[in-house]
Amino acid sequence: MKKIKPLAFYLPQYHPVPENDEWWGKGFTEWTNVTKAKPLFEGHDQPIYPADLGYYDLRVPEVREQQAQMAKEYGIHGFIYYHYWFGNRKQLLERIANDVLTSGKPDFPFCFCWANETWSGIWHGLAEKILAEQVYPNDQDLIDHFNYLLPFFKDERYIKVDNKPLFIIYHPNHLNEGAPHYISKFRALAKENGFDDLYVMASNKLRDDIDLKSMGYDGKISNAFQKAWIPYIKKGEYISHYQYYKNRITELLGYKKKNKPKVLTQDAQAIVNDLQFVESNVPTFPCLLPNWDNTPRSGYRGVVLTNTSPELFEKQIEKAIAYLEDKNDYPEHLLIIKSWNEWAEGNILEPDRKYGFGYLDTLKRILDKYNK
């Protein structure tokens, strides 16, 4: 079995930018939502608190060094930086990657996931407000985009698969509908600049039965966790027979019940039990979700995975490794983790005050066993 290489998604939104100042108030960062979170139901574990790294500012190089050292010590092979190129040379949150490139630090592998979707205020109650629209205006913008990425691709730290820079597309359908030849032109530019090709991977946004091969992709991130989750989301809230008839009688008597908003919660144990990784028509890499609670961003519109724990994370890792064991034709055994530091979505590997290094300890212990 090839060495398992975990890659963790990495959010760069931990420093102020003018656009966020304008939209959400002066000094806004991801921590703004994290620190103002409140428990929305009995037993709701909010707010959550960072442990060893604190409420960091990613403009500080030492913070990035600490993150990379921590990730390396616990078996993470590299970070997947979210990359925001909206078209017409418009970028957001690019500073951190630029600093990593120009400084040469940290000495830690990385690649990009192009988060090619429009930013709206939907998760904050502003569904009609377009903050930054994703467009694909012309070939010149495509060339400009590639030329921006090229110094990163050439960097020794940039993750490559057989001399092909790994480039992940978050929203394959959006790109295919907006610019169907984008990938083929990117590949041509890569070859013109000395690479064998690009290794283009679709994110976990699309189902695993989508024909991504014909769309020009070399691989995809598994959608298995979402597939296991969907049936539970569709079931909605359970109401007992007693409560149902009590509600009906109350309505018939003309009493209006004051509805208190409720957060949609799902039991992570049930979802992980149903989790099953399957192949698509391109190499499909398992994706793990250690935890989830996006109520700091979305309030009562959020979704909470309950009963998450390092022990349940271990079960996911074991399932992912079992799936990869016979994939000898895969160029790499990549294990995708979402995410390293999406704190406002309660989706983290970084140590918090509740579990400390629990998730990282679990990952390291299992990797040590399989990667001897």
What tokens appear for 95 in the block?
A: 């500073």
pLDDT digits (tens, 9 = 90+) for 59-70: 999 999 999 999
Q: Is the dihedral of CA 213, 272, 43, 365 positive or negative?
A: negative
Distance CA 345, CA 276 (A): 24
> Pairing relation of β-strands 341-342 and 347-348?
antiparallel
As a whole-number percent, the residues of the chain with pLDDT over 90 amount to 87
Using the Cα atoms of residue 184, residue 226, residue 68 and residue 90 in order, give the sign of their dihedral: positive
pLDDT digits (tens, 9 = 90+) for 89-124: 999 999 999 999 999 999 999 999 999 999 987 655
Tell me whether strands 126-132 and 90-92 are parallel, antiparallel or unpaired.
unpaired
Residue 236 pLDDT > 60, yes or no?
A: no
Eight-state DSSP code of residue 345:
G
Tally the C-alpha atoms within 13 A of residue 53's C-alpha that lie toward its C-beta: 28
State yes or no: pLDDT of 128 exceeds 80: no
Phi, psi of 284 (to 5 degrees): -120, 120
pLDDT over 60 at 44, yes or no: yes
pLDDT of 120 = 85
* Choice between 238 and 292, residue whose per-residue pLDDT is larger: 292
| % of the chain at pLDDT higher than 70 | 91
Query: What is the arithmetic mean of pLDDT over 181-203?
Result: 98
**What gap in Å lies between CA 188 and CA 183, rounded to an integer?**
9
Q: What is the pLDDT of residues 132-152, one digit of tens each?
A: 999 999 999 999 999 999 999
> Of 280 and 239, which is predicted with more confidence?
280
Residue owning tokens 């010149």: 140
* CB environment 264-274: b (16+ within 10 A), e (fewer): ebbebbebbee
Q: Could you read off the pLDDT of 10-32 as tens digits, one per residue?
A: 999 999 999 999 999 999 999 99
* Structure tokens, 191: 């070859």
pLDDT at 250 over 70: no
Q: Is the pLDDT of residue 240 over 50?
A: no
d(CA 184, CA 298): 37
What single-letter DSSP state applies at residue 356?
A: B
Domains and CATH numbers, the chain: 5-371 (3.20.20.80)
3-state secondary structure at position 22: helix
Give this prediction's pTM: 0.93
Q: Judge whether residue 230 has pLDDT over 90.
A: no
Is residue 327 within 8 Å of residue 283, measured between CB atoms? yes
Give every CB contact of residue 370 below 8 A, 6+ residues apart in sequence.
1, 4, 321
- Confidence band, pLDDT 50/70/90 cuts, at residue 332: very high
Alpha carbons 355 and 312: distance in angstroms, whole number: 13
DSSP-derived secondary structure for 164-177: -BEEEES-HHHHHH
Tell me the average pLDDT across 228-234. Answer: 82
Residue 224 near residue 208 (C-beta atoms within 8 A): yes
What pLDDT, in 10s, does the model give residues 251-309? 556 655 556 688 999 999 999 999 999 999 999 999 999 999 999 999 999 999 999 99
| 96 vs 61: CA distance, rounded Å | 9
Average pLDDT rounded to a whole number, residues 197-219: 97
